[in-house]
Amino acid sequence: MRNSAGAARRAAPLSYSHRLSHKLVAEGAIGMVDIKTGSGTRRVVSAALLLTIVLFFLPALIVRGEPVYQRKDTDDLPGGESAPPFEQSPTASTAGARDRGRAVRLLTKEGYVAELTMADYLWGVAAAEMPASFEEEALKAQVCAARTYTVIRQNGGKHPGADICGDSTCCQAYIERSAAEARWGLNAGEYGEKIDRAVAETDGLGILYNGQPIQALFFSSAAGKTVDAAEVWGNSVAYLKSVDSPEGDEVPNYRTQVELGAEEVKSLTLAAYPGADLSGDPAAWFGEASRNDGGGVISIPLGGVTLTGGQVRALFSLRSASFTVAWNGAQFIFDVTGYGHGVGMSQYGANAMAKNGSSFQDILTWYYTGAQVGALW
């Protein structure tokens, strides 16, 4: 149906400020005065009172729609480069006040420092570090671990001018929202909202031991049990003990196999451990392994040199230190279970617990022995 310009003008909706003034007039909140004119008497709003209304509500009208947070470009980029625009995710408007009020300086893979709200940063970490298809309680546990890890870094980081970096081999992985949504495709809306909720519903919460933030280590999947920190790094940590972990063959690539020839094993070993004796029959190169309760290798002799399970894992690029090794006459066969260093929270274990009804608090206090969940600031 075609409308005239006059009809269109009559149908136009009133602005917020116009609706407000009409409402106040109707309720008698604004005084009216009579002005006599040649054509009769008109009632108009008192100018002084109208001005008061405008001045009172103008700031609120201006603030509406302003971003809660803006990134501060760094001035000390190499070669005087300008930092490219850095995307802020919408979580800043939905997460709680504690995360919105704390900033994180992220050293990006491109080499510049981006300043984000904690809420935006944690959204990107959760999206990068844990499958968004996981249960929401598992995602919440991941967010709490990431938040705790970030606070530790902020209290003593190793990146000048930044709190943390986006490299998972150094700090924590991070992905911008647009990149995560492109990866998720048709599931982008659902997955993005799940992570929004995981961040918002754990606002400011972290993992504490004796009232202090912990080193909230996590990894992908365990071979039935997590590993005591002392086995991996030689230092005993009260809250990083070995516990049962319920994941299994439902985990993608849970069991993998690596095949290496004798010459490759010899070359890699002697480059790292030149004192090893790898002469003679390859079947005798590896000795009997010492194992933990979960079947992971604590130590194993190789050419007369005793290595930890973690050292063998790094040497031959195995997915974990839960492995067996055998010589079949032509190659060494490594059968490996799980993925990661094995210390702290297993992500797939957390998801299995969530599927069985555990809350994120249950998950965190299970994997971090003797720890509590509480506000970090």
List, in order, residues 6 or more apart from 169 with CB less than 8 Å away.
none
Query: How far is Cα of residue 26 from the mean position of the Cα atoms in its chain?
Result: 52
Alpha carbons 83 and 179: distance in angstroms, whole number: 18
Residue 101: what residue type? G
* pLDDT score at 196: 97
* pLDDT score at 63: 32
Q: Which residues pair with 339 in a beta bridge?
A: 221
Alpha carbons 254 and 246: distance in angstroms, whole number: 13
Residue listed under structure tokens 């890890």: 149
Alpha carbons 220 and 293: distance in angstroms, whole number: 19
User: pLDDT truncated to tens, each residue of the chain (377 aa)?
Assistant: 433 333 333 333 333 333 333 333 333 333 333 433 443 443 433 444 434 443 443 333 333 332 222 222 222 222 323 333 444 444 434 447 899 999 999 999 899 999 999 999 999 999 999 999 999 999 999 999 999 999 999 988 789 999 999 999 899 999 999 999 999 999 999 999 999 999 999 999 999 999 999 999 999 999 999 999 999 999 999 999 999 999 999 999 999 999 999 999 999 999 999 999 999 999 999 999 999 988 999 999 999 999 999 999 999 999 999 999 999 999 999 999 999 999 999 999 999 999 999 999 999 999 999 999 999 99
Beta strands in the chain (DSSP E): 32-37, 40-45, 103-107, 113-117, 164-165, 205-209, 212-213, 218-219, 255-260, 290-291, 297-302, 305-308, 323-327, 332-337, 345-346, 372-375
The predicted model scores a pTM of: 0.74
222: nearest Cα among 125, 40, 347? 347
- Every domain of the chain and the residues it spans: 15-63, 78-215+344-375, 255-337
Dihedral angle of Cα 220, 217, 135, 374, to the nearest 10 degrees: 170
Q: Are 359 and 368 in contact (CB under 8 A)?
A: no
